[in-house]
């Protein structure tokens, strides 16, 4: 009995690519499950895993890293990727399958669960008990925690961003890299990313992977009033995210929207300025490690849910913050 974790790569940036922070969190979470250790499966990478990935696996106590270097799998195809994960399950004999609570993790794991006709728990934050396995997961965008049982031969769950902090294993390993070969049918590749284009003005994935997001809502007051938020995001090495009202009014493009119908973000810091904190917005930002609200209304839901709040006009607070940061 062991745990298999679907790991994802970080967004492409400078230098050698490594596993994402969410992957490291999920591997850390996996070590809380019983059994003979943790294995990982990495899909979509052509060529052997690089030294950085292997070092991260070593540090996380991964025993086997299953990879498929099939060129057909380089572009994301949820069902085809699920076939590889399933092959990793067969070889490892794992009784638990975990992945990050990301769009990819949730979709691929749901396919694997469907293949095995077992339930899947998305966005788990906590293991309540091990035998029989019961977990707590975020629902309604994190506004509600639900406890569910995951009994049976195979337990499938995605782990919500920041459910645990990534930590090295007390027992580092020398992971074995094992190729898994799968026979794909055309049906496995029907839904596949055919091409991707960089969005005008920068990296499409900047918001979802940002460690700092400066959120801006209707309280900003107009399309021409974003300068301070943009400057602060740049100063903190982060991205600007907005509410749906802001995109609906045409003040900012849709790819910056956070929420149920936008991006789900898990930054270390979410500075939510002039955002009321409606449940549909909260659905996209509740996994942030720390939320600071800046709002004129001390009873706004975002203020009551945030860890810290500044009650004031964002057009005074943000310039003051920028001055302070220098
Ligand atoms: C099906 C559906 C899906 C949706 N999906 C999303 C989604 O993905 N993302 C999303 O964001 N919303 C979504 N919504 C909309 C959501 O319900 C809210 O309407 C929206 O989030 C509100 O945006 P807001 O907080 O910017 O505006 P408001 O609710 O108008 O809040 C503005 C806030 O700014 C404060 N404020 C005003 N002036 C200042 C100032 N000078 N300084 C500081 N604070 C100030 C006010 O006190 C207020 O709290 C969805 C709705 C539906 C029905």
Please state, in angstroms and rounded to a whole number, the distance separating the CA atoms of residues 128 and 270. 28
Give me the CATH number covering residue 88.
3.40.50.620
Residues 165 and 227 reside in one and the same domain: no
Q: Are residues 116 and 162 in the same domain?
A: yes
Compute the distance from residue 285 Cα to the ligand 1 centre, in Å. Answer: 13
Q: Is residue 201 assigned to a domain?
A: no
| Residue 117 CB-density burial (10 A; 0-12 exposed, 13-18 middle, 19+ buried) | exposed
| 239 token code pair | 């991205």
Q: Are residues 23 and 143 in the same domain?
A: yes
* C-alpha to C-alpha distance for 41 and 87, rounded to whole angstroms: 10
Q: Name the token pair of 21.
A: 């922070």
Asked if residue 68 belongs to a domain, the reply is yes
Report DSSP letters for 222-282, one per residue: STT--HHHHHHHHHTT-EEEE-HHHHHTTSS-GGGBBSTTSB----SEEEEES----HHHH
Q: Which domain holds residue 30?
A: 3-189
Pair (42, 173) in one structural domain: yes
User: Which one of 189, 224, 251 terminates a domain?
Assistant: 189
Pocket test for ligand 1, best of 208, 215, 216, 219 (most atoms within 8 A of CB): 219
CATH of the domain at 280: 3.40.50.1220
Q: Is the CB of 295 under 6 A from ligand 1?
A: yes
Q: Verify whether ligand 1 is closer than 6 Å to residue 304 (CB atom).
A: no
Considering the domain architecture, whether residues 230 and 123 belong to the same structural domain is answered as no
Q: Torsions phi, psi of 215, nearest 5? A: -90, 140
**CB contact at 8 A, 9 and 20:** yes
Is the shortest distance between the CB of 257 and ligand 1 below 6 Å? Answer: yes
User: What's the distance, Cα to Cα, between the start and end of the chain in Å?
Assistant: 54
pTM (2 d.p.) = 0.78
Assess if residue 14 is contained within a domain.
Answer: yes
**Is 112 a pocket residue for ligand 1 (Cβ < 6 Å)?**
no
Q: Are residues 211 and 132 in the same domain?
A: no
Atom of ligand 1 lying closest to residue 313 CA = 42
Cβ–ligand 1 contact at 241 (below 6 Å): no
In a domain, 244, yes or no: yes
pLDDT at position 162 is: 82
Q: Is 271 inside any structural domain?
A: yes
Number of domains forming the structure of the chain? 2
CA 219 to ligand 1 centroid distance, Å: 8
Q: How far is CA 261 from CA 112, 147, 191, 217, in A?
A: 25, 25, 21, 15
Which of 133, 164, 189 lies at the terminal end of a domain, its last residue?
A: 189
Answer whether 244's CB lies under 8 Å from 262's CB: yes
* Domain membership flag for residue 214: yes
Whether residue 195 is contained in a domain is answered as no
Residues 246, 180, single domain; the answer is: no
* Token pair in block for residue 103: 């769009």
User: Mutate which of 257, 273, 275, 304 to test ligand 1's pocket (most atoms within 8 Å of Cβ)?
Assistant: 275
Residue 58, number of CB atoms within 10 A of its CB: 16
* Residues 181 and 215 reside in one and the same domain: no
* Same-domain status, 159 and 21: yes
* 158, 242: one domain: no
- Centroid of ligand 1 to alpha carbon of 30 (angstroms): 36
Q: Is the CB of 294 under 6 A from ligand 1?
A: yes
Residues 175, 212 share a domain: no
How far apart are the CA of 303 and the centre of ligand 1, in A? 13
Is 260's C-beta closer than 6 angstroms to any atom of ligand 1? yes
| Domain shared by 219 and 143, yes or no | no
Ligand 1, atom nearest to 300 Cα:
49
Per-residue model confidence as pLDDT tens for the chain (326 residues): 899 999 999 876 556 789 998 999 999 999 999 888 999 999 988 788 999 999 999 999 999 999 998 899 999 999 999 999 999 999 999 999 999 999 899 999 999 999 999 999 999 999 999 989 999 998 876 778 999 999 888 999 999 988 898 999 999 999 999 999 899 999 999 999 998 877 665 554 578 888 999 999 999 999 999 999 999 999 999 999 999 999 999 999 998 999 988 888 889 999 999 999 999 999 889 889 999 999 999 999 999 999 999 999 999 999 999 999 98
Atom 39 in ligand 1: residue holding the nearest Cα: 219
Q: Which of 162, 189, 216 is the last residue of a domain?
A: 189
């Amino acid at each position: 009995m062991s745990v298999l974790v679907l790991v994802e790569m970080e967004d492409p940036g400078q230098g050698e690519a490594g596993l994402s922070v969410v992957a490291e969190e999920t591997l850390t979470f996996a070590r809380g499950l019983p059994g003979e250790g943790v294995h990982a499966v990495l899909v979509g990478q052509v060529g052997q895993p690089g030294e950085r990935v292997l070092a991260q696996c070593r540090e996380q106590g991964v025993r086997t890293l299953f990879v498929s270097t099939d060129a057909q799998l380089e572009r994301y195809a949820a069902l085809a990727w699920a076939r590889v994960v399933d092959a990793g399950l067969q070889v490892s004999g794992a009784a638990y399958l975990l992945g990050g609570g990301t769009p990819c993790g949730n979709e691929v794991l749901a396919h694997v669960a469907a293949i095995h006709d077992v339930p899947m728990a998305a966005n788990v934050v906590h293991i309540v008990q091990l035998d029989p396995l019961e977990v707590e997961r975020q629902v309604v965008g994190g506004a509600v925690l639900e406890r569910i049982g995951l009994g049976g031969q195979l337990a499938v769950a995605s782990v919500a961003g920041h459910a645990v902090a990534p930590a090295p294993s007390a027992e580092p390993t020398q992971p074995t890299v094992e190729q898994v070969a799968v026979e794909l049918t055309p049906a496995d590749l029907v839904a596949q990313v055919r091409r991707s284009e960089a969005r005008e003005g920068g990296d499409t994935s900047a918001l979802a992977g940002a460690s700092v997001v400066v959120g801006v809502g209707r309280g900003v007051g107009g399309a021409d009033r974003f300068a301070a938020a943009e400057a602060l995001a740049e100063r903190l090495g982060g991205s600007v995210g907005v509410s749906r009202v802001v995109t609906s009014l045409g003040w900012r493009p849709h790819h910056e929207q956070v929420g149920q119908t936008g991006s789900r973000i898990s930054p270390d810091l979410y500075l939510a300025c002039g955002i009321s904190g409606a449940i549909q917005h909260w659905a996209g930002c509740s996994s942030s490690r720390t939320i600071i609200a800046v709002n004129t209304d001390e009873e706004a839901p975002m203020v009551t849910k945030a860890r810290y709040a500044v009650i004031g006009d964002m057009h005074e607070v943000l310039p003051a913050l920028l001055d302070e940061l220098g």
